[in-house]
């Protein structure tokens, strides 16, 4: 079959790498792709957030299956346009993508189906929001309602910090001016990935990531500096609790509303005292969590995504490898602040890659036969092992083979679980 993947980060390189290995994949096109993806697929330049452009491209290239990587095309309704035209698509509709695009929407769904999450309130007015936090006290969490690329959330230690966050939101810093205020949840965070076909659900792995740029989880937030899978904190018993109390009720509520969820539901969870509560949903794979999940799942990923898109999850099983994977992100110095583009990355050619280790590309480009840095997060050095310690050692062995003085990484990915 002819397959089109939308996106061009480390997540899409990992998806492309896994899908490419499945004999069902005859032709693979990734838009826009990157230098690493170009080695295994055709890259096409395309505005992936434009419904009409993606549709025209899929028609022109006789695409049989479209896999949507990032959230922006989902929020823009690209999957709806493709489905209406008869294409098979992996990724939720615009209406179901609200589970990521609006925090208040997710909270309403949780209330409607009884899923455990932090107590919350929403305000369209700054005075009422300030009165509410004064009554609740600190610590408290202040969130801009819409998509803000990870920058719209303040975990406020003091009331002054919470007020400052409210002021920023009502100054229009994040687009729309509506605020969600939540009870602070203590605990350990972990991510749970579940394929949903509108009715049935199939868990495909757990992971933990490192959002902060600095070692010891310090410094500003990033898109993610590393991840590992599985997440030891998400025991089988907890996974069962999350399926029964959070995931299945959410999927049932979405179906009841006439907006069934089809795609991957990525639940951000807070675990404390043997109980998990929902922090947030994302409606696509995480980056870099996708890299560790894909390395562990391999070629079966295409069968799983097809079963999801075709509504066949009830009789689909995952073939578990039962091992561990860890990925270390290499970023351009300065990231997540200002950084330079265009530096040359050497040493990639000599690295043996395969089902046990892969250097996935994120922001890379090819120039005069050399790989250059073209973004903030640039590479994801990913490896598997029978233990997490072995995966960790192999991933850092990959990092150490890369000659890129303009890049950096955290040396402590996985510390909590190790
Ligand atoms: P954005 O919408 O700006 O892209 P996001 O979707 O990443 O942000 P969340 O996942 O809701 O936003 O919050 C980001 C982080 O803030 C979480 O990973 C968690 O560490 C922390 N956080 C969010 N809500 C709570 C809460 N109620 N209690 C404790 N910590 C929280």
Pairing of strands 179-183, 357-361: unpaired
CB neighbour list of residue 364: distance below 8 Å, 6 or more residues apart: 34, 35, 36, 345, 371, 372, 373, 374, 375, 378, 379
Q: Is the CB of 104 under 6 A from ligand 1?
A: no
Q: Please check whether residue 373 is in contact with residue 343, taking contact to mean a CB–CB distance below 8 angstroms.
A: yes
Q: Is the CB of 157 under 6 A from ligand 1?
A: no
Q: Which two tokens stand for residue 389?
A: 């310690």
Q: What is the 103 CA–ligand 1 centroid distance (Å)?
A: 10
Q: Please check whether residue 184 is in contact with residue 199, taking contact to mean a CB–CB distance below 8 angstroms.
A: no
Residue 174: the pLDDT is 81
Q: Which two tokens stand for residue 289?
A: 């969590």
> Which DSSP string do the residues of 277-327 spell out, in sequence order?
EEEEEESS--TTHHHHHHHHHTTHHHHHHHHHHTT-GGG--------EEEE
Q: Is the CB of 234 under 6 A from ligand 1?
A: no
Residue 32: the pLDDT is 97
Show the domains of the chain with their CATH numbers: 2-92 (3.40.50.20), 125-177 (3.30.1490.20)
Pocket test of ligand 1: the residue of 105, 151, 155 to mutate, having most ligand atoms within 8 Å of its CB, is 155
- Report the DSSP beta bridge partners of residue 263: 196
Q: Please check whether residue 69 is in contact with residue 266, taking contact to mean a CB–CB distance below 8 angstroms.
A: no
Residue 175: the pLDDT is 77
Q: Is the CB of 169 under 6 A from ligand 1?
A: no
How far is the CA of 387 from the CAs of 168, 249, 360, in angstroms? 45, 34, 21
| Phi-psi label, residue 252: left if phi above 0, alpha if psi -120 to 50, beta otherwise | alpha
Taking the CA of residue 184 as reference, the ligand 1 atom at the shortest distance is 28
Q: Please check whether residue 292 is in contact with residue 325, taking contact to mean a CB–CB distance below 8 angstroms.
A: yes
Q: Please check whether residue 66 is in contact with residue 29, taking contact to mean a CB–CB distance below 8 angstroms.
A: no
- pLDDT (tens digit per residue) in 129-174: 999 999 999 999 999 887 666 678 999 999 999 999 999 999 888 8
For residue 47, the SS3 value is coil
Residue 150: the pLDDT is 62
Q: Please check whether residue 88 is in contact with residue 66, taking contact to mean a CB–CB distance below 8 angstroms.
A: yes
Pairing of strands 2-7, 65-68: parallel
For residue 362, the SS3 value is coil
d(CA 362, CA 378): 5
Residue 176: the pLDDT is 72
Q: What is the 154 CA–ligand 1 centroid distance (Å)?
A: 8
Pocket test of ligand 1: the residue of 184, 279, 282, 287 to mutate, having most ligand atoms within 8 Å of its CB, is 279
Q: Is the CB of 189 under 6 A from ligand 1?
A: yes
Biggest alpha carbon–alpha carbon distance for the chain = 61
Q: List the chain residues with pLDDT less than 70.
A: 147-150
């Amino acid at each position: 079959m002819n397959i089109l993947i939308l996106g061009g980060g480390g997540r899409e390189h990992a998806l492309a790498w896994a899908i490419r290995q499945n004999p069902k994949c005859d032709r693979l096109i990734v838009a826009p792709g990157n230098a690493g993806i170009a080695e295994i697929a055709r890259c096409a330049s395309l505005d992936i957030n434009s419904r009409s452009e993606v549709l025209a491209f899929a028609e022109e290239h006789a695409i049989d299956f479209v896999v949507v990587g990032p959230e922006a095309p989902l929020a823009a309704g690209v999957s709806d346009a493709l489905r209406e035209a008869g294409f098979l698509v992996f990724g939720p509709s615009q209406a179901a993508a609200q589970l990521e695009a609006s925090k208040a929407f997710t909270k309403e769904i949780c209330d409607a189906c009884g899923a455990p999450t932090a107590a919350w309130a929403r305000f369209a007015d700054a005075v009422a929001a300030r009165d509410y936090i004064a009554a609740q006290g600190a610590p408290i969490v202040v969130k801009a309602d819409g998509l803000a690329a990870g920058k719209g959330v303040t975990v406020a230690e003091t009331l002054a910090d919470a007020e400052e966050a409210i002021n920023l939101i009502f100054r229009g810093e994040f687009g729309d001016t509506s605020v969600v205020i939540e009870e602070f949840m203590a605990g350990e965070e972990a991510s749970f990935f579940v394929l949903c076909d509108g009715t049935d659900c199939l868990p495909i792995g757990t992971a933990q990531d490192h959002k902060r740029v600095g070692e010891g989880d310090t410094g500003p937030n990033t898109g993610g500096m590393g991840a590992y899978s599985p997440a030891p904190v998400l025991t089988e018993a907890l996974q069962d609790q999350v399926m029964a109390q959070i995931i299945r009720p959410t999927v049932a509520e979405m179906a009841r509303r006439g907006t069934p969820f089809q795609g991957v539901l990525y639940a951000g969870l807070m675990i404390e005292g043997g109980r998990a509560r929902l922090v947030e949903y994302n409606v696509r794979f995480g980056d870099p969590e996708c890299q560790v999940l894909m390395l562990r799942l391999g070629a079966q990923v295409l069968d799983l995504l097809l079963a999801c898109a075709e509504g066949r999850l009830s009789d689909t099983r995952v073939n578990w490898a039962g091992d561990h994977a860890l990925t270390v992100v290499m970023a351009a110095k300065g990231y997540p602040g200002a950084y330079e583009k265009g530096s040359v990355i050497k040493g990639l050619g000599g690295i043996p890659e395969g089902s046990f280790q892969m250097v996935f590309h994120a922001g890379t480009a090819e120039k005069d036969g050399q790989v250059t840095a073209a973004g903030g997060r640039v590479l994801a050095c990913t490896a598997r092992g029978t233990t997490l310690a072995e995966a960790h050692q192999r991933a850092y062995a990959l990092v150490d083979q890369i000659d890129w003085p303009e890049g950096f990484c955290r040396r402590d990915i996985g510390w909590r679980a190790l």
